[in-house]
């Protein structure tokens, strides 16, 4: 604030020396932690405002955020803000001023509390982290849209509240744009909890995570404002199909196999071969048993639609737009290839009536429970409050039966 006012005065008095003004404005700009080749998403707004505004609504923008009442969607209202564990302890979500906490009570006594610092997710579920020095740990309670409630974090024990799960860099490799691991202080054999450079964290999956470093592009287009052609930026159109798919597959090919090289190094135009073990490429996902979490790329690649056409993720997804649940819009994309004119249209689609005719999705890409996101409920049971769209596009007789039964039921009621 202070710096800006001084700059303004200088600009008024030293009118012609406008360059100084620009320099002053940049004083507060933190350099991008990824290096000088990167500009940061805020630099794109000036020329790509429409895309930027629409991008702010997407799951990629929400993928990691500072925790606040805006990014944490569970309730802090009394009686809706707690969970009980097998050992009769409870975790209560408490809001004090702008800070949010998970507080552990045993026998009515406060035992422990940690602040919500970072929020991951937002589309179907959220999980949270807290800083302890330079280390990061996952909080015991997560939030699930399908439950409309807090629940134990995925994979956590149900008998007691667990605050000790360290967060590895790989979570950030898919859920953020960057974080820098500090070198190990102590080279003893025991594995240490990773320490991070806190200031290096770049939230969200940002523009340059998908488009590659763009500082030169920003400099060039700024210096040449009349130039309508883009320079110094990877042109998506010029990429091969495999390269285009891998821009997404780096994060959407399942989260079981570790990266050989940090996924933060992946840039548009690279292929996954540099990042994964050769065995990764010989796995053919089995749509019946697979763990669907995140493996859209493997599943799609096994589908007839994919094998017999040139489709990629962009055939159905606009990466700058949130189209979640707009099944009619997605169905239009199916019909760009499948329509009565092309003789490969669905014989069944017209049958259930108008309401479902424009929903190819629930019959051919049904929702499946994720095996990866399974939670212990405290009563010894495990639940999966998290369904994923299978990207194995096929005929699913069971989904068909359910939908036909539903449509008939509806007819009877009406
Ligand atoms: C000073 C203006 C300016 C700024 C700032 C700017 N761009 Fe651009 N960009 C352009 C122009 C002009 C084009 C070419 C016309 C178009 O596609 O919109 C372009 C095109 C692009 C393209 C398409 C390239 C292609 O050939 O397919 C991408 C991707 C892109 N910009 C990304 C970015 C990102 C990411 C940022 C921020 C880090 C950014 N731009 C900042 C002016 C700018
Ligand atoms: C750096 C990792 C990364 C890359 C690269 C990436 N994604 Fe994602 N994507 C994610 C994560 C993580 C989520 C879940 C975010 C959340 O809900 O918090 C996600 C969510 C999505 C969603 C769900 C949106 C919703 O509203 O539920 C779609 C669709 C998607 N990605 C498509 C793509 C496509 C297409 C590409 C390539 C052009 C791509 N992604 C590239 C990590 C990535
Ligand atoms: C999840 C990955 C992803 C993110 C995040 C992303 N883009 Fe894109 N962007 C793409 C892909 C893929 C294309 C190519 C779309 C196509 O041609 O089918 C594209 C195309 C573009 C284009 C050229 C085509 C057009 O629509 O005008 C521009 C400009 C662009 N992006 C800018 C941005 C900016 C600015 C941001 C950040 C606000 C951003 N992108 C964030 C994946 C992404
Ligand atoms: C290889 C990439 C990858 C890794 C590694 C990864 N995730 Fe994810 N994660 C995703 C993608 C992609 C999604 C979107 C769900 C889907 O696949 O449909 C997702 C979804 C989620 C969601 C639900 C988001 C929502 O809005 O519904 C949470 C929470 C989450 N991940 C947390 C984590 C945590 C914590 C870690 C580390 C232990 C982790 N993820 C590691 C890619 C990854
Ligand atoms: C880019 C074009 C394209 C798009 C988009 C497309 N498909 Fe296909 N699809 C094909 C082709 C080509 C085949 C193979 C047809 C054949 O073998 O004669 C196919 C096959 C199928 C099959 C038969 C699968 C099997 O295993 O027998 C179904 C079902 C199907 N598509 C449904 C869909 C649905 C639903 C969508 C939208 C979510 C969709 N398709 C989008 C091109 C496409
Ligand atoms: C009520 C469920 C349902 C809906 C809705 C539905 N389909 Fe189908 N579809 C089926 C079933 C079942 C079959 C298998 C029919 C058979 O083998 O006789 C099928 C077959 C297909 C085939 C393969 C055709 C062939 O002869 O190989 C394609 C392509 C297809 N559907 C595309 C679509 C598209 C595109 C939509 C959306 C406009 C759609 N379907 C909507 C249930 C449905
Ligand atoms: C033939 C069309 C089609 C193609 C191609 C396609 N998707 Fe999807 N995708 C969909 C539909 C339909 C949904 C469901 C949208 C909804 O329910 O809101 C979806 C949902 C998703 C989601 C959200 C996951 C969930 O469970 O809700 C992610 C992530 C995603 N797609 C990633 C990808 C990636 C990555 C690729 C490329 C490897 C890809 N998709 C290619 C049609 C497609």
The span from the CA of 165 to the CA of 348, in Å, is 49
Q: How many CA atoms lie within 13 A of 140 on its CB side?
A: 27
Confirm or reject: Cβ of 363 under 6 Å from ligand 6: yes
> What residues in the chain have per-residue pLDDT under 70?
1-29, 186-191, 255-257, 287-294, 352-357, 372-373, 376-380, 410-414
pLDDT at residue 9, as a whole number: 38
**Distances from the Cα of 388 to the Cαs of 88, 103, 125, 293, 348, in angstroms?**
33, 31, 12, 7, 24
210 lines ligand 2 (CB under 6 A): yes
- With the C-alpha atoms ordered 260, 261, 263, 268, is the resulting torsion angle positive or negative? negative
Residue 355 has a pLDDT of 61
Beta carbons within 8 Å of 289's beta carbon, 6+ residues apart: none
pLDDT computed for residue 186 by the predictor: 66
Over the Cα atoms of the chain, what is R_g? 25
pLDDT at 25: 37
Question: Is 228 close to ligand 1, i.e. is its CB under 6 Å away?
Answer: yes
Which of 44, 47, 51 gets mutated to test ligand 3 (max ligand atoms within 8 A of its CB)?
A: 51
Ligand 3 touching residue 252 (CB < 6 A): no
Taking the CA of residue 316 as reference, the ligand 5 atom at the shortest distance is 5
Distance CA 376, CA 142 (A): 12
- State which of 47, 210, 214, 226 you would mutate to test the pocket of ligand 1, scoring each by most atoms of that ligand within 8 A of its C-beta: 47
Distance between CA 10 and CA 4 in Å, rounded? 10
User: pLDDT tens-digit profile of 205-215?
Assistant: 999 999 999 99
Neighbours of 133 (CB within 10 A): 9
The contacts of residue 199 (CB under 8 Å, 6+ apart) are 30, 33
If you measure from the C-alpha of residue 107 to the centroid of ligand 5, how many angstroms do you get, rounded to a whole number?
59
Q: Can you give the pLDDT at residue 344?
A: 84
**CA dist., res. 128 & res. 118, Å (int):** 6
Distance of CA 3 to the CA centre of its chain: 36
Decide whether any atom of ligand 6 lies within 6 Å of the 359 Cβ. yes
pLDDT at 390: 92
Q: What per-residue confidence (pLDDT) applies to 326?
A: 94
pLDDT at 15: 38
Q: How far is the CA of 175 from the centre of ligand 4 (A)?
A: 7
Question: Can you give the pLDDT at residue 407?
Answer: 73
Q: Which atom of ligand 2 is nearest to the CA of 123?
A: 17
Q: What is the rounded CA–CA span in Å between residue 117 and residue 130?
A: 5
Q: Which of 108, 74, 112 is nearest to 88 (CA)?
A: 108
pLDDT number for residue 410: 66
Residues 367, 315: contact at Cβ < 8 Å?
A: no
CB burial of 230-265 (b: ≥16 within 10 Å; e: otherwise) equals eeebbeeeebeeebbbbbbbbbbbbbeeebeeebbe
Q: CA–CA distance from 268 to each of 116, 200, 250, 265 (Å)?
A: 33, 22, 10, 10
Question: Ligand 2 pocket check: which of 234, 251, 367, 391 to mutate, most ligand atoms within 8 Å of Cβ?
Answer: 251
pLDDT at 327: 94
Contact 268, 234 (CB under 8 A): yes
pLDDT tens digits, one per residue of 157-202? 888 999 999 999 999 999 999 999 998 776 665 667 899 999 999 9
Opening angle at CA 226, ends 225 and 232, nearest 5? 65
For ligand 3, say whether the CB of 317 is within 6 Å of any of its atoms. no
In this structure, how many other beta carbons lie within 10 angstroms of the beta carbon of residue 412? 6
Please check whether residue 254 is in contact with residue 293, taking contact to mean a CB–CB distance below 8 angstroms: yes
Provide the token pair at 341. 């004119």
Q: For residue 249, give the ligand nearest its CA.
A: 7
**Does 236 sit in the ligand 3 pocket, CB within 6 Å?**
yes
- From the CA of 407, how far away is ligand 6's center (Å)? 16
Report the atom number in ligand 2 closest to the C-alpha of 314.
35
Q: What is the pLDDT of residue 383?
A: 74
């Amino acid at each position: 604030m202070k710096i800006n006012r001084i700059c303004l005065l200088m600009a008024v008095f030293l009118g012609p020396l406008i360059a100084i003004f620009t320099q002053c404005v940049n004083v507060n700009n933190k350099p991008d932690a990824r290096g000088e080749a990167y500009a940061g998403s805020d630099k794109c707004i000036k020329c790509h405002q429409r895309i930027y505004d629409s991008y702010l609504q997407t799951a990629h923008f929400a993928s990691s955020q500072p925790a606040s009442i805006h990014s944490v969607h569970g309730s802090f209202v009394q009686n809706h803000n707690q969970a009980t564990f097998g050992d009769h302890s409870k975790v209560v979500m408490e809001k004090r001023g702008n800070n949010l906490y998970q507080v552990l009570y045993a026998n009515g006594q406060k035992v422990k509390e940690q602040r919500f610092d970072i929020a991951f997710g937002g589309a179907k579920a959220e999980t949270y982290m807290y800083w302890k020095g330079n280390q990061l740990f996952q909080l015991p309670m997560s939030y699930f849209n399908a439950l409309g409630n807090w629940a134990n974090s995925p994979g956590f024990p149900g008998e007691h509240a667990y605050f000790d799960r360290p967060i590895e860099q790989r979570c950030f490799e898919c859920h953020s744009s960057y974080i820098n691991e500090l070198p190990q202080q102590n080279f003893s054999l025991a594995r240490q909890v990773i320490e991070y450079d806190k200031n290096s964290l770049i939230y969200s999956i940002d523009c340059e995570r998908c488009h590659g470093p763009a500082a030169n592009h920003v400099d060039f287009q700024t210096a040449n404002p009349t130039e309508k052609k883009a320079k110094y930026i990877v042109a998506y159109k010029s990429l091969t199909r495999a390269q285009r798919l891998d821009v997404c597959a780096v994060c959407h090919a399942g989260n079981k196999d570790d990266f050989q090289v940090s996924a933060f190094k992946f840039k548009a135009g690279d292929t996954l071969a540099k990042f994964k073990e050769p065995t990764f490429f010989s796995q053919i996902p089995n749509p019946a048993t697979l763990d669907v979490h995140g493996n859209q790329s493997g599943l799609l690649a096994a589908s007839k639609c994919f094998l017999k056409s040139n489709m990629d993720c962009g055939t159905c997804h606009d990466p700058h737009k949130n189209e979640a649940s707009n099944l009619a819009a997605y169905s239009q994309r199916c019909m760009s290839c499948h329509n009565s004119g092309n003789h490969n249209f669905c014989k069944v689609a017209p049958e259930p009536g108008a309401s479902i005719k424009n929903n190819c999705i629930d019959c051919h890409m049904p929702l499946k429970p994720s095996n990866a996101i399974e939670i212990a409920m405290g009563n010894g049971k495990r639940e999966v409050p998290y369904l994923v769209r299978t990207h194995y596009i096929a005929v699913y007789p069971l989904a068909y039966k359910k939908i036909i039964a539903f449509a008939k039921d509806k007819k009877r009621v009406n």
